[in-house]
Structure 1
Amino acid sequence: MAFGQDGDWAIEAQGLVKRFDGFTAVDGVDIRVPRGAIYGILGPNGAGKTTTLRMLLGIIDPDSGVRRVLGHERPTEVARRIGYLPEERGLYPAMKATEAIAFLAALRGVPLKTGRRRARELLEENGLSYAADRQIRQLSKGMAQQVQLLGTLVHEPELVVFDEPFSGLDALNQGKLEKMIRTLAARGTTVIFSTHVIAHAERLCDQVAIIAGGKVPFAGLVDEARDRLRPQVRLETRARDGAWRAALPPDARSEGAFWHFTLPESGVEPLLRALIEGEAGILSLSIERPGLHDAFVAIAGEAAARALQETAQEAEKAA
Structure 2
Amino acid sequence: MLQQVQGSDAAVFAEDLVKEFGDKRAVDGVSLQVPAGCIYGILGPNGAGKTTTIRMLLGIIDPSSGRRTLLGRSAPLDAAREVGYLPEERGLYPAMTAREAIAFMGALRGLPLKEGRRRAEQMLTDRGLSDWIKRPIRTLSKGMAQTVQLLGTLVHDPRLIVLDEPFSGLDAINQEKLEAQIRERAEAGATIIFSTHVIAHAERLCERIAIIAGGKVAFEGAVDEARGRLRPIVQLTTRADSGPWQSALPASARRLGKRWTFELPEGGPEPLLKALIDGGAGIETLSIERPGLHDAFVAIAGEAAARDMTLGGAPE
* TM surpasses 0.5: yes
Quick one: which amino acid aligns to residue 280 of structure 1? A
2:196 is the counterpart of 1:173: no
Question: What TM-score results when the alignment is normalised by the length of structure 1?
Answer: 0.96
C-alpha separation in 1, matches of 2:273 and 2:130 = 59
- Structure 2's unaligned 5+ residue stretches are none
Equivalence for 2:10: 9
Equivalence for 1:147: 148
Alpha carbons 2:5, 2:35 under 8 Å: kept = no
Say which SS state the counterpart of residue 61 (structure 2) adopts: coil
2:45 is the counterpart of 1:41: no
Say which SS state the counterpart of residue 184 (structure 1) adopts: helix
CA drift of 1:127 comes to 2.4
Quick one: which amino acid aligns to residue 147 of structure 1? V
C-alpha separation in 1, matches of 2:94 and 2:86 = 17
C-alpha separation in 2, matches of 1:287 and 1:135 = 53
Give the total of aligned pairs: 312
C-alpha separation in 2, matches of 1:133 and 1:179 = 25
2:296 is the counterpart of 1:302: no
Alpha carbons 2:4, 2:33 under 8 Å: kept = no
C-alpha separation in 1, matches of 2:128 and 2:164 = 23
After alignment, is 256-265 or 145-154 more displaced? 256-265
Alpha carbons 1:160, 1:190 under 8 Å: kept = yes
Quick one: which amino acid aligns to residue 46 of structure 2? N
C-alpha separation in 2, matches of 1:37 and 1:238 = 48
What is the CA deviation profile of residues 101-154 of structure 1, one whole-angstrom value per residue up to 9, with x for unaligned ones? 111111111111100000011111222211110000011111001000000000
Pair 146,248 (structure 1): closer, same or farther in 2 beyond 3 Å:
same
Say which SS state the counterpart of residue 8 (structure 2) adopts: coil
Say which SS state the counterpart of residue 28 (structure 2) adopts: strand
CA drift of 1:4 comes to 2.7
C-alpha separation in 2, matches of 1:141 and 1:47 = 26
Alpha carbons 1:6, 1:70 under 8 Å: kept = no
C-alpha separation in 2, matches of 1:222 and 1:230 = 15
- Structure 1's unaligned 5+ residue stretches are none
C-alpha separation in 2, matches of 1:228 and 1:67 = 28
After alignment, is 236-245 or 12-21 more displaced? 236-245
How large is the RMSD of aligned CA atoms in angstroms? 1.2
Quick one: which amino acid aligns to residue 283 of structure 2? I
Moved beyond 6 Å, runs of 4+: none
C-alpha separation in 2, matches of 1:13 and 1:238 = 55
Identity of aligned residues (%): 67
Question: What TM-score results when the alignment is normalised by the length of structure 2?
Answer: 0.97
CA drift of 1:6 comes to 2.1
Alpha carbons 2:10, 2:35 under 8 Å: kept = yes
CA drift of 1:248 comes to 1.0
Alpha carbons 1:160, 1:191 under 8 Å: kept = yes
